[in-house]
Structure 1
Amino acid sequence: MRLFPWLRKSGPPLPVGSTSSVTGVVREPFAGAWQSGMSAFDAGVDSRHDLLAFSAVYACVDRISSDIAKLGIRYVKQTGIIWQEYGAPRFTVPLRRPNAYQNRIQFITSWQVSKLLFGNTYVLLVRDALRNVISMYVLDPARVVPLVSTSGAVFYRVAADPLRGLQEQVTIPASEIIHDRGACPWHPLIGVSPIVAAAAAGTMGNRIQFNSRKFFGNMSRPGGILSADGPISDETANRLKTQWEANYGGENAGRTAVVGDGLKYTAVMMSATDAQLIEQLKWAVEDVARCYHVPLYKIGADPTGSKTAANIGALEQSYYTDCLQAPIEALELCLDDGFEVPDGQGFEVDVRGLLRMDAGARYDAYAKAVGGGWMAPNEARAAENMPPVPGGDTPYLQQQNYSLKALSERDRNPAPNSTTAPKEPAKEPTNAD
């Protein structure tokens, strides 16, 4: 039995956006960039690897991917109007160990990092003879090209990748690929990463840090010009320049210079204060966080200290709603489609670990829920990973609670639990009496 029964070499389907194998849609950052072989990152914008060197970009990508990966994934089934966890090894076992070199957290982290950096995540599904998923591989987005046939069927051309079990370039049908993608402004099969919008801010932040390193490496002294009142020859100018750089540049910066013949030194580079370095760097961090929808306190860049013990619950809820909910919902739907789960069942990311309150707030909420009669004691114990107790499966209410209708009836009639025996009706007189 072949591991990939659909395995075949690249066929007729054309790359997305193309009208033939030669011509297609070309998007370039400026006129002539395509002929010069320059991409958007070549046109004054750093590559994705360089942008990761900017701490704000790395912090946002790491924060989102790690926060989603640490959450458990349950398989649930609808029972009546509620969803309950359901044991289905066919679906849950592949998630515990997706492949030979990744566990669940590493796999989900790779999934999210690929989407955050490239805008697309391609997951190769390996099935057995019964079409059960037995392993999953997150593919390198740079090695995958979406294809569309003339009939509208979607395929994916994947370059050789021995780590994922692909020994040659193949064309894979869409049913064997989970394609999770970000915003698709140009084509429904081509997602765009937030890093496209954050590239300018990330590049500026990188260059500010690089210039700062050079500035402080020069004893915090700016560059300048040696000038003379009268004309000097090129030979003299080159000699003075060479001597000045050798004696007062690099590690020798900061030494005392003695100049003659009317030479003057004039600084030409702005200092860090003149360039408002801190303000510019702060704006770059804020712009990157804005593109990724990550609050500043999550990446340690909030100068106001808005995170306190009193509002941590509200902040976490806002972080989940604004930043994490969309990728989490997309993850659940992609797993449902890839595993071909039946109706009324599906995967669910357990967000309780993310929105978990402190112990005092949790216990207070449990007390109100159990005391209000809509939560059983054993349900509260299960939420704290405690075993059930006898009699704790039923919600309870105190006996003195009555409805308004029952109280109205009580005012007109004896109470239902009254111990006073009702009077017997008088007997009619008989002949004997």
Structure 2
Amino acid sequence: MWPFRKTETRIATSDPFLGEFLGARWTARADIEKASGLAVAHRAVQTIAENLAAMPLKVYREAENDDRQPAKDHPLYGVLHDNFNERLTAFEGREMLNASMLIHGNAYARVERNGRGQVTALHPLVAGSVTVEVLKSGRLRYKHALPDGGTETLLQHEVLHLRYRTADGVLGMSPIQIAASTFGLAVAQQDQAGAAAENAFRPAGALIFPDKLAATGKENVITKFRERFVGALKANEVLILDGGAKFETFQFSAKDSEFLESRKLSNLDIARVFGVPPSIVGITDNSTYSNAEAESRALVMRCLAPMARRIEQALNSALLSPEARKSFLIEHDMSGLLRGDLVTRYNAYRIGREGGWLNVNTIRAFENLSNIGPEGETYVQPLNMGALGGANDNRSKLDDAA
């Protein structure tokens, strides 16, 4: 017997294919590109990305008394509002970054600055072409693989990095990877439906012969049968069997296995992962006219608003210097998405006007109407209202007005 104990070497790996080959239990996994191509996933990503890109994103200049005005003279204002760069509009660039963050968990853009350090352009990068390194100083370094095979190295201040939920503060995690079981099941169901459609939804069956066939004979029969009858374009072919052969189908329909209901549940799960109401992604089974507006408002409050705040803080941190952040602020204008119907808006304006905190020009600006001049800057309040404890003074003012 060998007197020495053999040293055991173990290698840790997260490769699911290697683990399955070595006998590990199957764990759910989903290919990001394939999973993002699911109809519900695509609609959810596109809805969030488009709405955030369409929402006004402005650079504000902060003044005294917490007053702020759009800083249209700042170079960054035009980048976020008009054109990302000479090839992409601001909408296209923002949509690209939002979709990349929702699909891959990370979105990158190379920052171009002028001599004063102000941002003059943003150049989105493909998420799969960027690797992130943590330097000893704690700052990040980005390596971007160029199309010609080369590599460019970018420092942290040269890159805008948007992250989905992060576990290490360096890289974001893709929601598709976080909910791999949900997307893996949905992809498998779609593949199964595609395979059934390829055979025109005809059930599988068995060819039964009265006599035993040789092994080569079985293979020849199966091959010829597939060539002649398997496939959607061969659904109406005539089947002729001789020699006492019979064809018996296996009667397992999609309804019997509740396959369609299972696919509906998977679609609902995908909508839950992205935090969008079912009707937003086209699932209208339980939708009514009364809850459509409530679901649209839920999309803004529960999905778009947190995502907008995530993006705003990343933009402020990456595109404005610590000194500039004392005077400037990047923020989405969500008022357009939160506006109600015409009657609701006008009632709200009336309350604000009579309460004394809205004037005519402010209300017209909300409705994208032109300014009417100085007379629209006046504020009013009901005559029966006044400062607390100033009843006698208010009475005299009423008498003078009379």
TM-score of the superposed pair, with normalisation by structure 2: 0.84
Aligned to 1:252: 234
C-alpha distance in structure 1 between counterparts of 2:42 and 2:256, whole Å:
28
Aligned to 2:379: 395
Question: What whole-Å deviation, never above 9, does each CA across 1:91-121 have from its counterpart, x for those lacking one?
Answer: 2122221212100000000110110111111
Q: What is the deviation of 1:239?
A: 3.7
Aligned to 1:118: 104
Q: Is the 8 A contact 1:201 1:285 kept in 2?
A: no
SS at match of 1:68: helix
Give the alignment of 1:21-420 within 5 angstroms.
27-29=14-16, 32=19, 45-79=29-63, 80-95=65-80, 96-161=82-147, 168-185=150-167, 187-250=168-231, 251-268=233-250, 270-306=252-288, 308=289, 310-311=290-291, 313-340=293-320, 341-389=324-372, 390-402=374-386, 405-406=389-390, 409=392, 418=399
Instruction: Describe the shift of the 1:243–1:337 C-alpha distance in structure 2 as closer, same or farther (beyond 3 A).
Output: closer
Q: Is the 8 A contact 1:143 1:159 kept in 2?
A: yes
- Equivalent AA in structure 2 for residue 372 of structure 1: G
Instruction: Describe the shift of the 1:170–1:269 C-alpha distance in structure 2 as closer, same or farther (beyond 3 A).
Output: farther
C-alpha distance in structure 2 between counterparts of 1:245 and 1:139, whole Å:
47
Instruction: Describe the shift of the 1:229–1:216 C-alpha distance in structure 2 as closer, same or farther (beyond 3 A).
Output: same
- Structure 1 spans left out of the alignment, 5+ residues: 1-23, 36-41, 420-433
SS at match of 1:304: coil
SS at match of 1:354: helix
C-alpha distance in structure 2 between counterparts of 1:175 and 1:404, whole Å:
53
Percent sequence identity is 22
C-alpha distance in structure 2 between counterparts of 1:417 and 1:43, whole Å:
78
C-alpha distance in structure 1 between counterparts of 2:395 and 2:213, whole Å:
120
Of the structure 1 ranges 68-77 and 318-327, higher mean CA displacement relative to structure 2 is found in: 318-327
Q: What is the deviation of 1:223?
A: 1.4
C-alpha distance in structure 2 between counterparts of 1:170 and 1:243, whole Å:
56
Q: Is the 8 A contact 1:61 1:113 kept in 2?
A: yes
TM-score of the superposed pair, with normalisation by structure 1: 0.79
SS at match of 1:84: strand
C-alpha distance in structure 2 between counterparts of 1:141 and 1:90, whole Å:
26
Q: What is the deviation of 1:161?
A: 4.2
Aligned to 1:4: none
- Equivalent AA in structure 1 for residue 208 of structure 2: S
C-alpha distance in structure 1 between counterparts of 2:115 and 2:21, whole Å:
46
- Equivalent AA in structure 2 for residue 359 of structure 1: L
Total equivalences in the alignment: 380
Q: What is the deviation of 1:48?
A: 2.3
Question: What whole-Å deviation, never above 9, does each CA across 1:118-164 have from its counterpart, x for those lacking one?
Answer: 111111111222222221111111111111223333211111247xx
C-alpha distance in structure 2 between counterparts of 1:326 and 1:150, whole Å:
32
Q: Is the 8 A contact 2:111 2:158 kept in 1?
A: yes
Q: What is the deviation of 1:277?
A: 1.9
C-alpha distance in structure 1 between counterparts of 2:397 and 2:136, whole Å:
78
SS at match of 2:69: strand
- Equivalent AA in structure 2 for residue 264 of structure 1: K
Question: What whole-Å deviation, never above 9, does each CA across 1:308-346 have from its counterpart, x for those lacking one?
Answer: 3x5555433321222112221122122222222331421
Q: Is the 8 A contact 1:316 1:355 kept in 2?
A: no
Q: Is the 8 A contact 2:28 2:180 kept in 1?
A: no
SS at match of 2:172: strand
C-alpha distance in structure 2 between counterparts of 1:376 and 1:291, whole Å:
43
